[in-house]
Amino acid sequence: MARLRDPVSRATLLAQAEQSVSEDRIDWTRIYPLSDQPVRHVFTPEDSVAAIASQRGVPVAEAVLDLLVEMDGRRILTWPILNQNLDEVLDMLSRPYVTLGLADAGAHATLIMDASQPTFFLTHWVRDEGRFTLEDAIRRLTSEPAELFGVSGRGRLAVGGFADVNVIDLESLALGYPEMAHDFPGGAPRWIQGADGYRQTLVNGEVFLESGQHTGVLAGRMVRL
């Protein structure tokens, strides 16, 4: 942060950025400062870095440096790569042949973090927007994908089934701020994003998480499909 505040370093960065920005190599209309009050992955065109630069009457590169300094290096600029139009997302989610789920097995762990999807679905689409009932949302996050992928005994609470349970306080459910962890082999980095409002998570009948904190229990195993 000291370098970003230093006038000489700042001038060097702005000079180096001028060409790439002028050639539109980066679409700053699709990049946004991510607030933490609260964390919401919902943006309007006016929230973009390009719009902020226009409002302030400065070049985009200067706005980027200003935003990073204003956020004291503790907040990020986010680029929702796909599906920025939430009306289109709602249309897709409303189709009966669309199933929730997204993963690339961590191939882009330093660039993409998709684990917030279930929490975003429950908070934004169910609780805040009321577009889906809670019952339908739970089904789409549990039994529907379990049946699709042939994971037997999972995805619903039933006698004789595996006791995989989430105890959720829906009103207090909220996404945490993305963080960079260095817990991969060799200290390699990855993005993580926690959440508040999950009171308990049980795997095979054992409490795996308590208020978002790991209890030390390792009750599950790797599933190979």
Same domain, yes or no: 20 and 118: no
Choosing from 57, 78, 99, the residue where a domain stops is 78
207: pLDDT confidence band, cut at 50, 70 and 90?
A: very high
Q: Is-cis flag, bond preceding 38, omega within 30? A: yes
User: Number of folded domains in the chain?
Assistant: 2
pLDDT band at 37 (very low <50, low <70, confident <90, very high): confident
* 91 and 202 both lie in a single domain: yes
Alpha-carbon torsion angle 108, 122, 71, 33, nearest 10: 70
Domain span at residue 173?
86-214
**CA-closest candidate to residue 184, choices 90, 105, 116, 81:** 105
pLDDT at residue 35, as a whole number = 85
Average pLDDT, the chain: 89
**Is 92 in the same domain as 142?**
yes
Using one digit for the tens of pLDDT, what is the confidence trace for 157-201? 999 889 999 999 999 999 999 999 999 899 999 999 989 999 999
- State the Cα–Cα distance between residues 156 and 212, nearest whole angstrom: 22
* pTM of the predicted model as reported, rounded to 2 decimal places: 0.86
